[in-house]
Amino acid sequence: MRAVIWKEPHKVAVEEVEDVSMTEPTDAILRLTTAGICGSDLHMYEGRTPVQPGEVFGHENLGVIEEVGSGVRTVEAGDRVVLPFNVSCGFCFNCVRGYTNACLVTNPTSHGGGFGYSGLGPHRGGQAEFLRVPYADFNCLKLPGTPGDDLEDDFLLLADVFPTGWHATEQAHVEAGEPVAIFGAGPVGLMAALSARLKGASEIYVVDAVRSRLDKAREIEGTVPIDLGDGDPVEQIIEHRRPFSQQVWNLRPGSGDKMPGVMSGIDAVGYEAWNDEHVGEEQHPSQVLDHLVELVNPTGHISLIGVYFPEDPGGVSEEAKRGRFGFDLGACWKKGIGVEMGQAPVKAYNQQLRDLIVAGRCKPSFFVSHHLPLEGAPEAYEKFDQRADGYLKILLRPQQAA
């Protein structure tokens, strides 16, 4: 079968690989109809996380069940399903408590399993024609409709970025009537903004330096795009807030000018943050965190949904290479800001978000920019890695002829 495999830093290829097969009675085989290229895939593409030549990429997977093992009970051949990027067992100590992002069974070397990703176990990715699905009863989310319909792209986003964006708003304690600032208008940042709108946030600020991404953020009702090129993003947001916050101060006794920022802040960038003074250059990996500590009001909350790895050979300093990042901890402590981080437990949200899509309450695929056959992956990775204008979310159609 054909699959997207890693060759060396900044190079992937589409090649024939060994066909997948079931190894356990609880397995299923999925025929992929759509697979996404994720910003997290770029960390491996660039060689900044350990990856071996020949590894199959792809943790955003949607398709039709081709075959099931004798132990599978709730899905069958012909079912249309989407998979969470987490590979989880459903019965270990962490899974039964809802932490499917930290499964203790599906990764022999650590907690947390995942499809096609460095350090998340021996599970092939789905940027391929077929995929083996472990613990299929638990990991498959059934979908209505037929492959290629007008919900195909929306359903694909249930594999990762929509639940991840929603999880960011959970970590940041986004509440109705409160303001939120999101740094990063990539797929996860946009999904966090959409999630904040669905939760009733009063003001939604989205910070980025790429014009096409900010234009997409503007399409989300109630969102104010903040361009890094226009100056300090914290100052911009506080100035935007001033007319609204002054009214609120009058209604919240004692607030005065002590709460000029936002109650919820989301870092959807991670360790590859650009330096404000040199936009486009990765010189200050904790830049976003510094901004959020300054911007978030006392008693507010911060979500670090952007990736921070414990090891990064491409880090800008010896500390960054070892996963150590400095930030204004003193100010964070003084403000009593809550900070949460880590991968999203997709299964905690994907069923409810599926039903929002089916009900027509949201259409998360508004930012999808490209649909390509597998053979288009090498060029797409190159353009996406360059943050080329217009390359925002790329979906591959594994069954489509080149």
User: Which of 166, 279, 182 lies closest to 237 in space, CA to CA?
Assistant: 182
Instruction: Please check the confidence at residue 127 and state whether its pLDDT lies above 70.
Output: yes
Which residues make Cβ contacts (< 8 Å) with residue 328, sequence separation at least 6? 290, 293, 294
Token pair of 346 as six digits: 């997709």
* pLDDT at 381 (0 to 100): 95
Taking residues 71-87, what's their average pLDDT? 98
- Tabulate helix, strand, coil % of the chain (nearest 5): 30, 25, 45
Q: What is the pLDDT of residues 15-66, one digit of tens each?
A: 999 999 999 999 999 999 999 999 989 989 998 888 899 999 999 999 999 9
Q: What stretches of 268-315 show up as alpha helix (H) in DSSP?
A: 287-295
**Domains assigned to the chain:** 2-160+345-397 (3.90.180.10), 165-341 (3.40.50.720)
User: Which of 292, 293, 304 lies closest to 331 in space, CA to CA?
Assistant: 293
Instruction: Please check the confidence at residue 282 and state whether its pLDDT lies above 80.
Output: no
Pairing of strands 179-183, 141-142: unpaired
Residue 179 banded pLDDT, cuts 50, 70, 90: very high
* pLDDT at 258 (0 to 100): 82
